[in-house]
């Protein structure tokens, strides 16, 4: 049975992807920083999952995620979904607190690469895949998005290079689009974001991605959804 690690799966997009892969028969290792929220989320997934509370910036936690996947047969898919927005409201770069920027980079850039480094030996052996969740803020210059956007740009470039260096592994950097998530609400404090689609709406496109296994590259889930409807 295929095994996936999904980080940041106690809510939002990560939880929706966990439901989608569980329904497709995947064995899952999921994590989240809030133990109670993660346990509640795991209980709702339509399949037994291994839920490990912890922070992806913790090296010991990352090792535990890989070990849990190994006990299930080894990860075939690593979904680096966990991330943080940074300060809300988001400050302009001229005023960005550098300690906060370091935190944004530690969670959004360093931790995903560190987890991928641990997973790569098994992924190479099994012809597996890495998904790094990114954003249109990585490629568009939105005022106020300098911290989060530049971190996601770094993730995208690291993904491109990883794809070039690891021909035995698929590497996709996936833009899910604007979704109705807590992070998106934090990006627009006080605004009504009810017009954004729920995370579950992109799950069919994500399943299409991992099942069709296109070449490594940048993927907009909206494009896959359009292709599925064509």
Catalytic positions, please?
148
Q: What is the pLDDT of residues 140-185, one digit of tens each?
A: 999 999 999 999 999 999 999 999 999 999 999 999 988 888 888 8
> Which of 38, 39, 50, 44 lies closest to 9, judged by CA?
38
Q: Model confidence at 229, in pLDDT bands (50, 70, 90)?
A: low
Pick one of 3.40.50.720, 3.10.129.10, 3.30.365.10, 3.30.70.20 as the CATH number of 3-227: 3.40.50.720
CB 129 within 8 Å of CB 213: yes
Instruction: State what percent of residues in the chain have pLDDT above 90.
Output: 86
Q: What is the pLDDT of residues 94-118, one digit of tens each?
A: 999 999 999 999 999 999 999 999 9
Q: How many residues does the chain have?
A: 230
Report pLDDT for 227: 63
* Residue 131 DSSP class: E
Residue 183, burial from CB neighbour count under 10 angstroms (0-12, 13-18, 19+): middle
Check pLDDT > 60 for residue 49. Answer: yes
What is d(CA 131, CA 2) in angstroms, rounded to the nearest whole number?
15
> Which of 43, 72, 41, 58 lies closest to 182, judged by CA?
41
List CB contacts of 110: < 8 A, sequence separation 6 or more: 57
Check pLDDT > 60 for residue 230. Answer: no
Residue 219: beta bridge partners? 174
What is d(CA 75, CA 3) in angstroms, rounded to the nearest whole number?
5
Annotated domain spans of the chain: 3-227
Check pLDDT > 80 for residue 228. Answer: no
Q: Model confidence at 187, in pLDDT bands (50, 70, 90)?
A: confident
Provide the whole-model pTM: 0.96
Report pLDDT for 191: 87
């Amino acid at each position: 049975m295929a095994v996936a690690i999904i980080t940041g799966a106690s809510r939002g997009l990560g939880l929706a992807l966990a439901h989608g892969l569980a329904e497709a028969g995947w064995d899952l290792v999921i994590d989240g920083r809030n133990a109670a929220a993660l346990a509640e989320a795991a209980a709702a997934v339509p399949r037994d999952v291994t839920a490990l509370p912890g922070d992806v910036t913790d090296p010991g936690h990352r090792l535990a995620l890989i070990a849990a996947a190994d006990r299930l047969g080894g990860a075939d898919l690593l979904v680096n979904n966990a991330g943080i927005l940074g300060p809300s409201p988001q400050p302009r770069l001229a005023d960005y607190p550098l300690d906060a920027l370091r935190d944004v980079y530690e969670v959004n850039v360093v931790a995903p690469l560190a987890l991928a480094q641990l997973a790569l030996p098994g992924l190479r052996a099994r012809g597996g895949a890495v998904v790094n969740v990114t954003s249109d803020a990585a490629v568009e210059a939105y005022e106020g998005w300098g911290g989060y956007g530049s971190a996601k740009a770094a993730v995208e470039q690291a993904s491109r290079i990883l794809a070039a260096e690891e021909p035995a592994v698929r590497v996709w950097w996936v833009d899910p689009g604007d979704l109705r998530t807590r992070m998106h609400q934090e990006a627009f404090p006080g605004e009504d974001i009810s017009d954004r689609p729920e995370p579950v709406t992109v799950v069919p496109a994500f399943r299409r991605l991992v099942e069709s296994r296109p070449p490594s590259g940048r993927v907009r889930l909206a494009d896959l959804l359009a292709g599925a409807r064509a």
